[in-house]
Structure 1
Amino acid sequence: MLHASGGQAAVPAGQAAQGEPALEDYSLEQLADIVVTSVSRQQGRLSNAPASVYVISGADIARSGAATIPEALRLAPNLQVALTSAQEYAISARGFSSPLANKLLVLIDGRSVYSPLFSGVFWEAQDVVLADVDRIEVISGPGGTIWGTNAVNGVINIITKSAADTQGGLAVVHAGHRYAGAVVRHGKRLANGSHVRVYGKRDEAAAAPAEGPAGEGGGVGRRQAGFRLDWDGADQALSVSGDLHAGALRASREPRTDFSGANLVARFDTRLAGDAELRLQAWIDQERRRQPGVGKHSLDTADIEAQVAMRPGARHALTWGGGYRHARDRFENGPILQFAPTRRRMRWSNLFVQDEFAVTPVLRATAGLRLEHNDYTGTEVLPSLRLAWDHAPDAMLWAAISRTVRAPARIDRDMRLVDPRSGGQRYLVAGGPDMQSETARVLELGYRAQPTTALSYAATLFYSNYERLRTLEPQPGGALIRNLGHGRARGLEAWGSWQLMRGWRVSAGAVLQDVDTGVAPNRIDASSLLGLATNDPRSYWMLRSSHELKRGLAAELLLRRVARLPQPAVPGYHELDARIAWQYRPGVELALTGRNLLHARHPEFGRAGVRQLAERSVFASASLRF
Structure 2
Amino acid sequence: MAMSQGRMCCIAATALCAQAGHPSPAHTLVLGASHRRSDDRVGHDAPQFAFLPEQLGQSWTSLYAQDEMALSDALRLTLGARIERHDYTGNEFLPNVRLAWKPSPAQLWWASAARTVRAPSRLDRDVYVPATPPFLLNGGPGFRAEVAKVLELGYRGQPLPALTLSATAFHGDYDRLRTTELAPSRTAVFFGDGMQGRVGGLEAWGSLQTATWLRLHGGVALLRPRLALKPGSADNASSVPAAEGAMPRRMWRLRAAVNLPRDAEFDVTLRHVSALHAPDVPAYSAVDLRLGARLGPDADIALTAINLLGSHGEFTPVQTRSKFGRSLALQVRLRLD
Query: Runs of 5+ in structure 1 lacking a partner?
Result: 1-290
Aligned to 2:137: 429
Question: How far apart in 1 are the matches of 2:103 and 2:88?
Answer: 45
The answer to which structure, 1 or 2, has the higher relative contact order (CA under 8 A, 6+ apart) is: 1
Matches within 5 A, 1:292-371: 293-301=2-10, 302-309=12-19, 310-333=21-44, 334-371=46-83
Aligned to 2:116: 404
Match of 2:309 among 598, 618, 626: 598
Matches within 5 A, 1:200-239: none
Secondary structure of the residue aligned to 2:85 is: strand
Secondary structure of the residue aligned to 1:360 is: coil
CA deviation vs aligned residue, 1:262-303 (integer Å, no higher than 9, x gap):
xxxxxxxxxxxxxxxxxxxxxxxxxxxxx7x34453222232
CA deviation vs aligned residue, 1:338-389 (integer Å, no higher than 9, x gap):
1001111110111110011011222110000111110111110000111111
Question: How far apart in 2 are the matches of 1:363 and 1:583?
Answer: 44
Matches within 5 A, 1:94-113: none
CA contact (8 A) 2:269 2:287 kept: yes
Question: How far apart in 1 are the matches of 2:187 and 2:3?
Answer: 21
Question: How far apart in 1 are the matches of 2:258 and 2:50?
Answer: 53
Question: How far apart in 1 are the matches of 2:207 and 2:95?
Answer: 33
Aligned to 2:280: 569
Aligned to 1:609: 319
Aligned to 2:199: 489
Cα 1:594–1:524 change in 2 (3 A) is farther
Match of 1:519 among 225, 229, 236: 229
Aligned to 2:147: 439
Instruction: Pick the structure with more strand per residue.
Output: 2
Question: How far apart in 1 are the matches of 2:300 and 2:106?
Answer: 37
RMSD of aligned Cα (Å): 1.9
Q: Which runs of 4+ in 1 moved over 4 A?
A: none
CA deviation vs aligned residue, 1:307-366 (integer Å, no higher than 9, x gap):
121111111111111111111112111222210011111101111100110112221100
Aligned to 1:579: 290
- Alignment-mate amino acid for residue 261 of structure 2: K
Match of 2:253 among 542, 562, 566: 542
Cα 1:360–1:585 change in 2 (3 A) is closer
Match of 1:381 among 89, 93, 102: 93
Matched, 1:455 2:163: yes
CA contact (8 A) 2:146 2:175 kept: yes
Matched, 1:502 2:204: no
- Alignment-mate amino acid for residue 68 of structure 2: E
Cα 1:625–1:452 change in 2 (3 A) is same
Question: How far apart in 2 are the matches of 1:355 and 1:471?
Answer: 38
By how many angstroms is 1:593 displaced? 1.1
- Alignment-mate amino acid for residue 574 of structure 1: S
Cα 1:314–1:587 change in 2 (3 A) is same
Between the two proteins, what is the percent identity of the paired residues? 37
CA contact (8 A) 1:398 1:446 kept: yes
CA contact (8 A) 2:225 2:244 kept: no
- Alignment-mate amino acid for residue 314 of structure 1: P
By how many angstroms is 1:532 displaced? 5.5
CA contact (8 A) 1:426 1:477 kept: no
CA contact (8 A) 1:580 1:593 kept: yes
CA deviation vs aligned residue, 1:130-161 (integer Å, no higher than 9, x gap):
xxxxxxxxxxxxxxxxxxxxxxxxxxxxxxxx
Cα 1:324–1:533 change in 2 (3 A) is farther
Query: Runs of 5+ in structure 2 lacking a partner?
Result: none
Question: How far apart in 1 are the matches of 2:182 and 2:261?
Answer: 63
For normalisation by structure 2, the TM-score amounts to 0.92
Which structure has the bigger radius of gyration?
A: 2
CA contact (8 A) 2:245 2:276 kept: no
Question: How far apart in 2 are the matches of 1:552 and 1:524?
Answer: 63
Cα 1:534–1:297 change in 2 (3 A) is farther
Cα 1:582–1:360 change in 2 (3 A) is closer
Secondary structure of the residue aligned to 2:88 is: coil
By how many angstroms is 1:586 displaced? 3.5
For normalisation by structure 1, the TM-score amounts to 0.51
By how many angstroms is 1:609 displaced? 2.5
Cα 1:319–1:366 change in 2 (3 A) is same
Question: How far apart in 1 are the matches of 2:235 and 2:260?
Answer: 55
